[in-house]
């Protein structure tokens, strides 16, 4: 039976390499429509957790995994041998930055090498990991064609950018259109056929580079506009007005404006990293992406700005930062998740501890925190804990926090998320961005 027929009747076997915030929800969606799916991850603890029917991803319920395990439609493993019998292989592994801000695609290359080892005729391979433009054609294609197979005829290769928004229940995998760009038209069509089984809309673009750039443009757009909101917050403070009131007023315009919110910085695996992948690639060609560099500079300055607000607030109370007891509320990069990757809270905490502050944190999604050798104790958010702190700094606006209790009990608050908006707090006890 041809691959296209197996995709249509859901008899194809699918392997998803990487079972994190992207790979696990994707694997689950394919399994839910009847495909036999294997989730591959080198983290043995993750594999064991999944095979027990438990989930570590907020967007995937444990009962769903148990249902799929019982129906033999999903299994997790760390063994790459299953790639040989897989008809479709989707790579969803991290693509972080090195300390030098160069792309680290070692996880992609390692996964691609395993695919190459087990490659056979009739397979579809799709890269979903965000990367610099040209990766699919320039790196993956030569590796796979070394096996003597011809792309578009013997096997199919495409790029389809992940668009997962962890914790967003309004837009799940099936609700988000998929962009696919294949090496050949046949590759695009085959990838589109696969994704068409689980999403409502698939857009085929002319080549993988277009698809790679589309993802980078999406997150560069967000990075630049968040940077503008962050700089506006600083400007509004100098002018003595509320940036939040300004944004709310501007947002009443029904055309030509899209509101973005300032914050303590940017985090997660996409917005702080993806634009740097693009600027790195362009720099190789002698082009300097100035907008990207400036946005990155502004966004990365926000943790320091939050600390400045904290220092000024403590000074008004006759206290200094050194020796102050600081309670951090929220250390994940966004509300509703426990993802710590690139979280600005890490920079805030590290700098506070470097300056001699006594720091603890509360976060319902992050049970422990150790960053660059600094161990920060976790506390339960109680009235006594809040009252004991010299200052409370809200870095992540989790819905689980009792903000009314916080504003009633806190000695001083720095609210970097406007989480206390609408609550009656004396102006001498709170600072908002």
45: exposed, middle or buried (Cβ count in 10 Å: 0-12, 13-18, 19+): exposed
The answer for 249, left when phi > 0, alpha when psi is -120 to 50, beta otherwise, is: alpha
Print pLDDT tens along the chain (433 aa): 799 999 999 999 999 999 999 999 999 999 999 999 999 999 999 999 999 999 998 889 999 999 999 999 999 999 999 999 999 999 999 998 888 888 999 999 999 999 999 999 999 999 999 999 999 999 999 999 998 999 999 999 999 999 987 777 778 888 899 999 999 999 999 999 999 999 999 999 999 999 999 999 999 999 999 999 999 999 999 999 999 999 999 999 999 999 999 999 999 888 889 999 999 999 998 999 999 999 999 999 999 999 999 999 999 888 999 999 999 999 999 998 888 888 999 999 999 999 999 999 999 999 988 776 768 999 999 999 999 999 999 999 999 999 999 999 999 999 999 999 988 888 788 999 8
Strand ranges (E), 144-286: 156-159, 178-182, 202-205
Coarse DSSP helix, strand, coil percentages of the chain, rounded to the nearest 5 percent: 40, 15, 45
Which pLDDT score is estimated for 59?
A: 84
Choose the catalytic residue: 92, 270, 320, 360: 270
Domains 3-206 and 222-432 alike in fold = yes
Classified by CATH at the fold level, domain 3-206 comes out as Rossmann fold (3.40.50)
Q: Among 355, 344, 358, 408, which residue's Cα sits nearest to residue 382?
A: 408
| The CATH number, out of the four listed (1.50.10.10, 2.40.10.120, 3.40.50.2000, 3.40.50.720), of the domain defined by the range 222-432 | 3.40.50.720
- 187 part of the active site: no
- Token duo for residue 337: 């998740």
Cα separation, 57 vs 75, whole angstroms: 16
Domain positions in the chain are 3-206, 222-432
Q: Please tell me the pTM assigned to this model.
A: 0.91
CA separation for the pair 347, 395 (Å, rounded): 11
Structure tokens at 46: 């993750």
């Amino acid at each position: 039976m041809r691959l296209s027929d197996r995709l249509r009747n859901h008899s194809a076997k699918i392997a998803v390499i990487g079972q994190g915030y992207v790979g696990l929800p994707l694997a689950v969606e394919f399994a839910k429509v009847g495909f036999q799916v294997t989730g591959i991850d080198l983290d043995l603890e993750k594999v064991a957790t999944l095979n027990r029917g438990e989930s570590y991803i907020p967007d995937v319920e444990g009962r769903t995994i148990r249902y799929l395990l019982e129906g033999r439609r999903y299994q997790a493993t760390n063994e790459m041998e299953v790639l040989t019998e897989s008809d479709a292989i989707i790579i969803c592994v991290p693509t972080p930055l090195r300390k030098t801000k160069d792309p680290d695609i070692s996880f992609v290359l390692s996964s691609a090498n395993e695919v190459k080892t087990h490659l056979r005729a009739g397979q579809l391979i799709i890269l979903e990991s965000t990367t610099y433009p040209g990766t699919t054609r320039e790196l993956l294609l030569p590796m796979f064609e070394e096996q003597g197979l011809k792309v578009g005829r013997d096997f199919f290769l495409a790029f389809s950018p992940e668009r997962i928004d962890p914790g967003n229940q309004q837009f799940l995998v099936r609700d988000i259109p998929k962009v696919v760009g294949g090496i050949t038209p046949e590759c695009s069509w085959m990838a589109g056929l696969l994704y068409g089984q689980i999403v409502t809309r698939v857009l085929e673009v002319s080549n993988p580079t277009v698809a790679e750039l589309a993802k980078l443009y999406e997150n560069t757009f967000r990075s630049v506009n968040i940077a503008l909101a962050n700089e506006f917050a600083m400007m509004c403070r100098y002018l003595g007005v509320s940036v939040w009131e300004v944004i709310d007023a501007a947002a009443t315009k029904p055309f030509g404006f899209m509101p973005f919110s300032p914050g303590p910085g940017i985090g997660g695996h996409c917005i702080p990293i993806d634009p740097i992948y693009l600027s790195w690639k362009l720099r190789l060609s002698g082009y300097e992406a100035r907008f990207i560099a400036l946005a990155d500079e502004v966004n990365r300055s926000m943790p320091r700005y939050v600390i400045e607000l904290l220092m000024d607030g403590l000074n008004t109370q006759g206290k200094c930062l050194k020796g102050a007891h600081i309670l951090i509320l929220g250390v994940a990069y966004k509300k509703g998740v426990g993802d710590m990757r690139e979280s600005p809270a890490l920079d805030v905490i590290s700098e506070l501890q470097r300056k001699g502050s006594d720091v603890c944190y509360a976060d319902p999604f992050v049970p422990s925190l150790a960053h660059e050798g600094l161990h920060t104790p976790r506390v339960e958010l109680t009235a006594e804990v809040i009252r004991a702190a010299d200052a409370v700094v809200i870095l992540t606006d989790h819905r689980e926090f009792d903000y009314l209790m916080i504003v009633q009990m806190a000695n001083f608050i720095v609210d970097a998320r406007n989480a206390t908006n609408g609550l009656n707090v004396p102006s001498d006890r709170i600072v908002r961005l």
